[in-house]
Amino acid sequence: MNKKPQAAWELYLKMETSSDSFSLLQLLANDCYKMGQFWFAAKAFDMLERLDPNPEHWEGKRGACSGVFQRIIAQQQPKELLTDVIQLLRNTANSQVEHIIRVMKRWAKDNRVNI
């Protein structure tokens, strides 16, 4: 990863659906996660989960969304991003989603963050 996750994400969005685009998406998701670029990892894992409902994609998405949340709490990401994270989580039919969202909403309420 060249520390340009947004450029990689935009490259993926411009590609036509193929095995190459799926491979790029997997690379993007995993490399962004490893580099702590959790927002782009979350978006990539969300897309992977839509294309292939593999439990590993949910696990990556859950971890990446939690990473974004942690960075929001640490004031390393804008609080406004929390709304987008919650929306990504709602794209999943996993039973853990509501609990995760409840924790995020409680934190937002306690910290006067509008979501």
Answer whether 43's CB lies under 8 Å from 13's CB: no
The residues, any chain, with a CB within 8 Å of residue 11's CB and separated by 6 or more, are 24
User: What is the rounded average pLDDT for all residues in the chain?
Assistant: 92
pLDDT level of residue 44 (50, 70, 90 thresholds): very high
Question: Tokens representing 6?
Answer: 């947004």
pLDDT, tens only, 67-77: 999 999 999 99
| Confidence (pLDDT) at 1 | 54
Is the pLDDT reported for residue 21 higher than 70? yes
Percent of the chain with pLDDT over 90: 73
| Confidence (pLDDT) at 47 | 94
The residues, any chain, with a CB within 8 Å of residue 40's CB and separated by 6 or more, are 5, 6, 8, 9, 28, 32
Cβ neighbours around 68 below 10 Å, total: 25
| Confidence (pLDDT) at 67 | 97
